[in-house]
Amino acid sequence: MLTLETETDISDFSQIDFTNGVVAAVSGGSDSTALLLLLKDHLDRIAPATKLLAVTIDHDLRPGAAAEAQAVARLCAGRGIAHRILVWSGRKPSTGLPAAAREARYRLLAEAARAEGIGLIVTGHTADDQAETVLMRQVRDDGARDGGRGLAGMAPATLYDWRIWIARPFLGTRRAALRDVLRRANVGWAEDPTNEDEAFERPRVRAALADGNGVQRMEDAVALAARAAVEREHLGHRAAALIRGFASKPADGLVRLDPGFATAGDEPAAVYALRIMLATVGGVAFLPDQARSEALLERLRVGLFCASPFCATLSRTVVDARRAGIFLRREIRNLPPAALAADDALWDGRRRITLSDKPGAFLIAPLGAAHAAKRAIAEDGTPPSLVRAALAAEPALWRSHPGEYPGECLGLVQDSTVSSRMAACPVVAPFARFLPSFDLAPARTVAALIGAPLVPAMPFRGHTAG
């Protein structure tokens, strides 16, 4: 059953590690308001010294949003809960508004958490939200383009920006159960009119679930999400094993796959591993299309038997298959132009920039073919032309001189002469912004391969970063 019988069951936060504090995302709606009250009750009983900060995001999209945020502030003040209101200011997009609002919401929540030294955010997403998410993805036929990964719905935890965990403790709880908790506590909540606006996809699905067969459809969708989540995790572990067994990094910006990768015998895992590595090397936030990736793997497999070189490009990644191996590198086209180096910027989707010097002192730009030609080749026998092509697309630090563009090249950012001024840590591009806990195994494995930072420890007791 989706419903939970007791308030104790609903408010069981015992598996979540609140040691370093928690930010509760509270809009003023029923789900997040119940989350706040139940979380406050839990912490008061179990760990009263825990830092709890409630944050309300005013998206500045409706006249009543500011008043709703103030109502949350009064609720928090009455219960001794620290509270902040953050506003999504500036122009709003004319299309894709829900996605843009979601991105702004998580960005603001993460900024609030980092300002307080907190590494955990909790949200009030429910089983109803999970069912709606799965049904929306079914309607869009996301499974055909993405191998069915999206049918797992929302993960119990998602790592945001590779730094802060977002936990969803109510994914197994119906919204009606949370509203019963609020009624018993005599606490009201706000109703967001956009939840009824069928100009948007989610309200249309929500309305469809309100018909006579809605309960069964919701239960089926949640059950589907549970099955798909298990399958997605299993696939991720198999993909991670293939990456560990067949992938290496002969030079910065270059990944080599042993030819046996294409014939390892687990095609679904090989396709998934290939998609992740293509997106990572190319600095692309989304995995390449499932069908195109399947076709690429088949072409690589055929090429092995024909012993003929093969070259293709997918997700900004050049795939160069030859007798020495299958090599992946960033294509030279559409690299970022020279620009002032900025702290905490994401360069080309592949590197997180950290400055030691003051901003504006240097330019960051690709190394380029001329400077790459002067670099030493890999010591493992990798073809020098591939090493140089990969290095040409890597970020370098430049000192600008009047009349020169981009100026004097100081070296690659990983060079010892440059590292004192700045660092550029590799990132696992498809998971750099949002890493669902379903995908931890391949994300960790690729991070180790390219030298990206470790994944922070999971927010659940008994789990580590591995």
Please say whether the beta carbons of 339 and 329 come within 8 A: no
Which of 210 and 438 is assigned the larger pLDDT? 438
383-421: pLDDT as tens digits? 999 999 999 999 998 887 655 666 788 888 877 666 677
Report pLDDT for 195: 65
Segment of 139-143, 174-178, 362-366 carrying the highest mean pLDDT = 174-178
pLDDT over threshold 70, residue 359: no
pLDDT bucket at 204, cuts 50 / 70 / 90: confident
Report pLDDT for 214: 74
Report pLDDT for 466: 40
Any idea which of 100-104, 263-267, 395-399 has the lowest mean pLDDT? Answer: 395-399
pLDDT bucket at 443, cuts 50 / 70 / 90: very high
Please say whether the beta carbons of 42 and 13 come within 8 A: yes
Report pLDDT for 279: 98
Both tokens assigned to 55: 């944050």
118-141: pLDDT as tens digits? 999 999 999 999 999 999 888 876
The mean pLDDT value for 343-369 works out to 85
Any idea which of 8-17, 55-64, 359-368, 437-446 has the lowest mean pLDDT? Answer: 8-17
Cα–Cα distance, 190 to 212 (Å, whole number): 26
Any idea which of 43-57, 58-72, 302-316, 342-356 has the lowest mean pLDDT? Answer: 302-316
Residue type, 448: A
The mean pLDDT value for 11-24 works out to 90
Report pLDDT for 350: 97
pLDDT over threshold 50, residue 304: yes
Please say whether the beta carbons of 395 and 413 come within 8 A: yes
pLDDT over threshold 60, residue 95: yes
pLDDT over threshold 70, residue 251: yes
Report pLDDT for 208: 74
Portions of the chain given CATH number 3.40.50.620:
7-210
Any idea which of 73-82, 317-326, 344-353, 370-379 has the lowest mean pLDDT? Answer: 370-379
416-434: pLDDT as tens digits? 666 677 788 999 999 999 9
pLDDT bucket at 168, cuts 50 / 70 / 90: very high
Q: pTM of the entire structure?
A: 0.91
pLDDT bucket at 374, cuts 50 / 70 / 90: confident
Average pLDDT taken over every residue of the chain: 88
pLDDT bucket at 310, cuts 50 / 70 / 90: confident
Report pLDDT for 133: 92
28: left (phi over 0), alpha (psi -120 to 50) or beta: left
- At the fourth CATH level, which superfamily is domain 7-210? HUPs (3.40.50.620)
Total residues belonging to the chain: 466
149-164: pLDDT as tens digits? 899 999 999 999 999 9
Report pLDDT for 277: 98
Please say whether the beta carbons of 329 and 318 come within 8 A: yes
